[in-house]
Amino acid sequence: MTTESAFKTAQAQLRIAVDQLGLSENDWQTLSTPRRVLEVAIPLRRDNDKVEMYKGYRVQYSTTRGPSKGGVRFHPDIDLEETVALAMLMTWKCALTNLPFGGAKGGIAIDVASLSDRENERLTRRYTSEILPIIGPERDIPAPDVGTDERNMAWMMDTYSVNAGYSVPGVVTGKPIVLGGSLGRNSATGDGVAISTREALRARGINPVGATVAIQGFGKVGYWAAIALEGMGLKVVAVSDVNGAVTGFKSVSDLWNHFLKHKNLDAPGTDRLTNEELLHLEVDVLIPAALSDAITGKSAPGIKAKIVVEGANAPTTPEGDAIMNDKGILVVPDILANSGGVIVSYFEWVQDKQNYFWDVEEVKTNLNSIMMKALYEVEATAKDRKVTWREAAHMLGVSRVAEAHKLRGLYP
């Protein structure tokens, strides 16, 4: 998705929710404007001693319901408009799941593959020092995103803590376990996608046991979703990576073990498909868990799945969404389906504040509870208001932020 279309789509979705909720133009003005936008210049000394300059961003879209929360993305195409759009969506996602957070997003416009480990650390630490005045456990809590991982979070936490003069594990989430990370965080987004899939099948009157699933993407989200779905009794019949899709594998675990050993999905007995062919398989559930704009006006007409669960962020264009709605396909939107990651990030933040850590069963039980509540609320709102699940999810998230705005009032 282009940054312009990402921003326009996010604004259009907000406009629809504002109109459906009957909110005022004053509400639109406050809801459509980010609270704080920071753009920084980041000098990076390469290993060959050459100094290069990169742009970095941190957008705090809303702090009305609590400190802002959102990932840090290292990607060459990121810019300010995309960062604002993603921070906006994080705002509605946190409100939809009733987390005490606003939304944020940040990142650096760089190809992470071009960085050595030492360069990555220097870049991460300098970025942290540039945004340090506006982040903190009670202000804004970064997390991993595209191009970053728990190692980057460890560097960010250390940089912040050294400047504070004491250890502050709660400044970021998605950290290594030994630095205050949470059990269950790695699988959280995929676990949430699996819960969403199970409940969407229930809503459509389909028995999850034996239901068929195709997953576009076999990374952190797609893999963990596939593992969880198999554990629920569903049949994962196809998965894909950047090189294409495969079907005919014995189990997700067998395929993953082959992938770890050979760095490809061509396990014995598998058949190759294109990513487009995967989208058009006759399955009960399709899960786009890799790229934005996977389902477009061009690809949507061929989708045969009864349910689409958006594991990725913004995998569906407005044109693709309209076509699926016309076809009667139930779409579980990204701000609901992939909210497991931020929910368990919230659990990590809580555990860091308490200095008391949960076992993985407690994490998964609480994740299921929050996801189930949000799913039932979206389903009920969609039925009551006669809208799509996407519209219902945005209405719930936006209405909660708008209510918090009204209760807090306008200062001065």
Contact residues for 14 (Cβ-Cβ < 8 A; gap 6+): 28, 31, 32, 88, 394, 398
333 upstream amide cis, omega within 30 of 0: no
User: Residue 211: left if φ>0, alpha if ψ -120 to 50, beta else—which one?
Assistant: beta
Residue 129's closest CA among 42, 196, 28, 70? Answer: 42
Where would I find the beta strands (DSSP E) of 94-210? 102-108, 140-144
The CA distance from 127 to 80, in Å, is 15
Would you say the pTM of this structure is higher than 0.75?
yes
Kindly list the distances between the CA atom of residue 298 and the CA atoms of 1, 7, 302, 347, in Å, as whole numbers in the listed order: 14, 21, 8, 40
> For helices 360-385 and 340-354, what crossing angle results, to 10°?
130
H/E segment holding residue 212: strand 212-216
d(CA 189, CA 312): 10
Tell me the pairing of strands 235-241 and 212-216.
Answer: parallel
Tell me which DSSP letter residue 170 carries: G
The answer to whether 65 and 101 are in contact (CB under 8 A) is yes
Question: Which regions in the chain score pLDDT beneath 50?
Answer: none
pLDDT number for residue 4: 57
Residue 188 and residue 173: Cα distance in Å, rounded? 13
- How many angstroms from the chain centroid is the CA of residue 108? 18
pLDDT recorded at residue 293: 87
Domains of the chain in start order, with CATH, are: 3-9+32-168 (3.40.50.10860), 188-328 (3.40.50.720)
CA 74 to chain centre: 15
Catalytic residues: 105
**pLDDT (tens digit per residue) in 112-148:** 999 999 999 999 999 999 999 999 999 999 999 989 9
How many CB atoms lie under 10 A from the CB of residue 185?
24
Reported as type and span, the H/E element at residue 215 is: strand 212-216
- Give the span between the Cα atoms of 28 and 95, in whole angstroms: 17
Amino acid letter at 209? Answer: V
Nearest to 190 by CA among 245, 232, 148, 143: 232
Of the candidates 266, 334, 285, the one whose C-alpha atom is nearest the C-alpha of residue 1 is 334
**Share in percent of the chain as helix, strand, coil (round to 5):** 50, 15, 35
DSSP assignment string, 283-347: -SEEEE-S-TT-B-TTTGGG---SEEE--SSS-B-HHHHHHHHHTT-EEE-HHHHTTHHHHHHHH
| Residue where the block lists tokens 């918090």 | 404
Q: What's the CA gap between 233 and 333, in Å, rounded?
A: 23
What is the reported pLDDT for 292?
A: 83
Report how far residue 391's alpha carbon sits from residue 10's, in angstroms, rounded to the nearest whole number. 12
| Strand pairing category for 244-247 and 271-273 | antiparallel
Q: Are 193 and 287 in contact (CB under 8 A)?
A: yes
